[in-house]
């Protein structure tokens, strides 16, 4: 979903070098970097730098190696501050909407927002916003637990 990489990281889809294909990961990689880039790296097995991975959309952010753990914790805490059901719905939306017509997408997203608004999570989120306090999600980890 969100990928933070060390500037020292290297990436490769090298299965072709041993007579195989990156089958298990291919649906995710193709969606993430597009068919043209996937074609190149699937067929060549080239290894790429973190900066190149950022350029093609394989990673979202590149940080100095010594800051990776800190940035990972920050990102985890950002994710933990969002509603779990809302995040799951965002992922569903991102997966389904690109394959829909505009009318289907409008209907799907209207139904989704209506369901979320009346959910316990949606009610808590709106109440927290109006009361200017952090929401108390039903499923939550303490930030100390994120390592």
Give the start-to-end residue ranges of the domains of the chain. Answer: 4-68, 81-145
Largest CA-CA distance found in the chain, in angstroms, rounded: 59
Of 15, 46, 55, 74, which one is the catalytic site residue? 15
| Cβ pair 124, 136 in contact under 8 A | yes
% the chain with pLDDT above 70: 94
CATH 3.90.226.20 fits 4-68, yes or no: yes
Q: Centre a 10 Å sphere on the Cβ of residue 76 and count the other Cβ atoms it contains.
A: 17
pLDDT over 60 at 145, yes or no = no
Q: What is the pLDDT of residue 138?
A: 81
CATH of 81-145, one of 1.10.12.10, 3.40.50.300, 3.30.420.310, 2.40.10.120: 1.10.12.10
11 bridge partner residues: 48
Helix axis angle, 84-96 relative to 102-118, nearest 10°? 170
In the residue annotation, 15 being an active-site residue is answered as yes
pLDDT confidence bin for 147, thresholds 50/70/90:
very low
pLDDT over 70 at 140, yes or no = no
Q: Could you tell me the pTM of the whole model?
A: 0.80
Q: What is the pLDDT of residue 29?
A: 97
């Amino acid at each position: 979903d969100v990928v933070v990489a060390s500037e020292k990281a290297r990436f490769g889809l090298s299965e072709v070098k041993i007579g195989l294909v990156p089958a298990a990961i291919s649906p995710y990689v193709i969606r993430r970097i597009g068919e043209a880039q996937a074609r190149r790296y699937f067929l060549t097995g080239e290894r790429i730098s973190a900066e190149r991975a950022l350029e093609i959309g394989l990673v979202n952010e590149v940080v100095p190696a010594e800051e990776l753990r800190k940035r990972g914790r920050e990102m985890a805490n950002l994710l933990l501050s969002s509603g779990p059901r809302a995040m799951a719905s965002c992922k569903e939306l991102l997966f389904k909407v690109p394959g829909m017509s505009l009318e289907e997408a409008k209907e799907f997203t209207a139904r989704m927002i209506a369901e979320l608004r009346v959910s316990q999570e949606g009610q808590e989120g709106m109440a927290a916003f109006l009361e200017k306090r952090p929401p108390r999600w039903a499923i939550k980890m303490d930030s100390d637990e994120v390592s």
